[in-house]
Structure 1
Amino acid sequence: MNPTNHDSTFHAPTQSYAYHTKYVLGISFISALGGYLFGFDFAVIAGALPFLQTHFSLDAYWEGFATGSLALGAIIGCMVAGSVAEKYGRRPGLLVAAAIFAVSSLAMAFSFSRDSFIAARCCAGIGVGMASMLSPMYIAEISPAHIRGRMVAINQLTIVLGILVTNLVNYALRNGGEDAWRWMFGLGAIPSALFFVGTLWLPESPRWLLKAGKKAQAAHVLQKIGDDRFVADSIGNITRSLRGVVKTNYAAIFKKGVLPAVMVGIGLAVFQQLCGINTVFNYTPRIFESIGASQDDQLLQTVFIGGVNLVFTVLAMLLVDRLGRKPLMLIGAGCLAVTYLIIVALLGDHSPHVSWFLLASIGIYAMSLAPVTWVLIAEIFPNRVRSEATAIAVVSLWAAYFVLVFTFPVLFETLKEKSFYIYSAICALGVLFIWRKVKETKGKTLEELEML
């Protein structure tokens, strides 16, 4: 298994390697529990918001800020995760994220004022930001190339499972009295504890171990993933990709050989949020209230949205390593641009049929922009700066999310259904960006992708 016997070229993955797929699947699912908690904190606000509006007397401004405060914490979490992942490894970062999830869930449940709730939700965002960066990056680094897309998409699957289960719980608690929202948030402590315990079992990323000079430990982890040839080729490829790297920092992402990938990553991250779909996730009750739906119907729609989200995420997992990343992104952006125009017309007519097209928009997003953006962000950056570049891209994503959810209540109050014209235009621009700037990455090792 000595990599010094290999030549200077990268060895592409082949089906002749023997992989321990069940092991890879197991550790991917454990890591992806961070995605489940991401989905929980992302979705819980939709069911709780009608109660919070009454309890804390929230106007449109504070409604947007309470929702968007998650993103402010997530920005901090991404930066913390980047430093922790680079200095101490991916696994310690996931453990910290799990602990933050547990504490913040209880803090939100026991909030005594609007400001204490927002502070607790901002802390929850730190956990979300850390998990949103580390879970897909960790999975990408431990997965063989030919199944990496599906493995990273498991993180998106657990996100949508978190959204669906949370929406079901919110719906079940809808008649639980004025303090039902406290149970909605507090129950998040249970999956947080499971995530923490599961993460204790995870191995460290072999790519981080090699970067840290721990070759024997890296080989031990790789032996659990594949056969001896896979171990030898992987160590050789990773070592060559790190050659000449002593220490990296955020300045390294602005170097000529790295910056184009970073700009594409930032562009994809910002587009995934400004495409507008998270207004449907986070403000389902407000949108359906505008066409006269009752509070029960509003919360029931969140359950339908969670179900559609799950079904189409599974479809994305089947397609991402077959059809490819770029085609799915183009399909998603183009179809959303058209669907939003139909939604504008139906909302303007107060038509109950708008629910079908809102669900269609969720399905389109779930099989394209939602999972594939995370896959690409986990893939496109070089080994030597992956932590820093991923952190910058995910920070950009959460900044865009804050802008989106903070502005929507005010926009919807002013422009009503015409707000979706803005998101349609952004999706049309997204098609052009993806067509011109995004390269296909399916089937290539992370080291091969550096050559692009």
Structure 2
Amino acid sequence: MSSTSYSTLIYKSTLVASVGGLLFGYDTAVISGAIGFMKVYYQLSDVMTGWVASCALLGCIVGAMYSGKLSDRVGRKKVLMLSAFLFVISSAGTAIAPDLWFFVLFRIIGGMGIGIASMLSPMYISEMAPARIRGRLISIFQLGIVSGILVIYFVNAYIAGIHNENWNITTGWRWMFGSGVIPSVIFILLLLTVPESPRWLASRKRNSEALAILTKINGTERALQELKSIDGSLQDKTPFSFSDLKTLQLKRALITGILLAVLSQITGINAIMYYAPEIFKSTGVGSDSAFMQTILVGIINVIFTLVAIKYVDHWGRKKLLLLGTTGMAICLFVTGLVFYQQQQGYLLLIAILGYIACFAMSLGPLTFVVIAEIFPTKSRAMAMSVATFFLWLAVFAVSQTFPVMVGSLGNAYTFWIYMIIAVFTFIFIWKMIPETKGKTLEEIEKEWTD
């Protein structure tokens, strides 16, 4: 079998799983275009604005926490299908919600879908991917996320331009949320066309099915070697439980994964993704201009995610992470300075675009790459659930506190706090993150165990 023919399945599976990332980005960023209109419609305070913007994250936390255990029981593919159905229910429900609390309920349901996709999509890709291109393929999941963000920025801008401000306040934001039904249904149909994870199949003693999939991906000889390596990593017959996460073998990997997940978010990325139009409006630009600048944020996000995809398996994870966090700290300092000096003009836009570019080529995709790689096969689903749970807890904290921080400290000091966290993140990556490029998941597992 030629390398071209057996690579077709892995790229197809990666792209389908990455549609889960697209829905993740689409559903989280839709609030950025709607929150300004909802604030007027429901007469929201700063605290309530933060709650409405971040309520979906409670669902994300629940989805991330329980999807690992569920996927160990019934398979990765079926639980991804569940996330797609939750996206459909949420998109329809938020569009027709009769009051704010029904809206919040359906956003939490959608958040459960996001939490599942954020954990399972990169894990599914990591369990399918050959070692030589695994970083690139998991990074495509992040490309799905930023593509979803960019698409919804365009959709929001289009819907906001259909009628006047009053229509947007009463109706337009509902259309923004309802539009998510279309990509959700597409995700359901695409999932029907891809196989189950071979590592999950092997863990269920369905070795013939696992070998068939590995052969299509790697060729016969390499597939036999990989299946033997997977079986070796599954020799421990005792059932996995949460108590296993406390063992010395897993503790270092788990602490590293949790800290990377948390730090990737508390550098402020979702403050910008959720509130970008409101940030730009605060400098005095109009609503239309703020939406167009927000679209620029989305375009830069996509372009520099492609940079990460191109270089992650060449430069390695650690080098890209260090480079990106350095740039993020510099751009956050400049952003705070612009607000502190109350400047007008394009310097704020340049600083925010620079921050987005640095995040998109480093912490954005590579957080998912690293936490999908560093855990053993037996405990990968549960350990990733824990790490992703803390990631969403951090996202919730940032999105909930950002309006309050801006209201009490001002924009300048808020962004300088994020800058200090970015500097700490650089030090953590330098000291703690291992380089995993070019190694099989079983080789990485052996290094952590040793």
Q: Tell me the equivalent position of 1:186.
A: 178
Q: Tell me the equivalent position of 2:349.
A: 355
User: 2:331 touches 2:355 (CA, 8 Å); kept in 1?
Assistant: yes
Q: Tell me the equivalent position of 1:91.
A: 77
Q: Aligned runs of 1:29-428 on 2, under 5 Å?
A: 29-175=15-161, 176=163, 177-178=167-168, 179-348=171-340, 349-352=342-345, 353-416=347-410, 417-428=412-423
Give aligned-pair identity as a percent: 38
How many angstroms apart in 1 are the aligned matches of 2:229 and 2:70? 25
The count of aligned residue pairs is 437
**1:115 partner amino acid:** W
User: 2:65 touches 2:388 (CA, 8 Å); kept in 1?
Assistant: no
Q: 1 or 2, which has the higher helix percentage?
A: 2
Q: Tell me the equivalent position of 1:12.
A: none
State the secondary structure of the residue aligned to 1:32: helix
**2:55 partner amino acid:** S
User: 2:329 touches 2:419 (CA, 8 Å); kept in 1?
Assistant: yes
> How big is each residue's C-alpha offset from its partner over 1:291-339, in whole Å with a ceiling of 9 and x where there is no partner?
1111111111111100000100011100110111011111111221121
How many Å apart are 1:429 and its aligned residue? 0.7
How many Å apart are 1:90 and its aligned residue? 0.3
TM-score (norm 1): 0.95
How many angstroms apart in 2 are the aligned matches of 1:160 and 1:17? 29
How many angstroms apart in 1 are the aligned matches of 2:434 and 2:3? 26
How many angstroms apart in 1 are the aligned matches of 2:379 and 2:231? 14
Structure 2 unaligned spans of 5+: none
How many Å apart are 1:350 and its aligned residue? 2.8
331-340 vs 102-111, which moves further = 331-340
How many angstroms apart in 1 are the aligned matches of 2:186 and 2:120? 17
TM-score (norm 2): 0.95
Q: CA RMSD in A?
A: 1.2
How many angstroms apart in 1 are the aligned matches of 2:237 and 2:418? 42
User: 2:10 touches 2:217 (CA, 8 Å); kept in 1?
Assistant: yes
Runs of 4+ in structure 1 deviating by more than 3 angstroms, as ranges, are 16-19
340-349 vs 135-144, which moves further = 340-349
How many angstroms apart in 2 are the aligned matches of 1:62 and 1:350? 29
> How big is each residue's C-alpha offset from its partner over 1:218-273, in whole Å with a ceiling of 9 and x where there is no partner?
11111221211111101100000111233112111111101100000000000010
User: 1:156 touches 1:371 (CA, 8 Å); kept in 2?
Assistant: yes
Q: Tell me the equivalent position of 1:429.
A: 424
173-182 vs 104-113, which moves further = 173-182
Change (3 A) 1:106 1:130: same
User: 1:17 touches 1:229 (CA, 8 Å); kept in 2?
Assistant: no
**2:437 partner amino acid:** K
How many angstroms apart in 1 are the aligned matches of 2:338 and 2:33? 24
How many Å apart are 1:17 and its aligned residue? 7.7
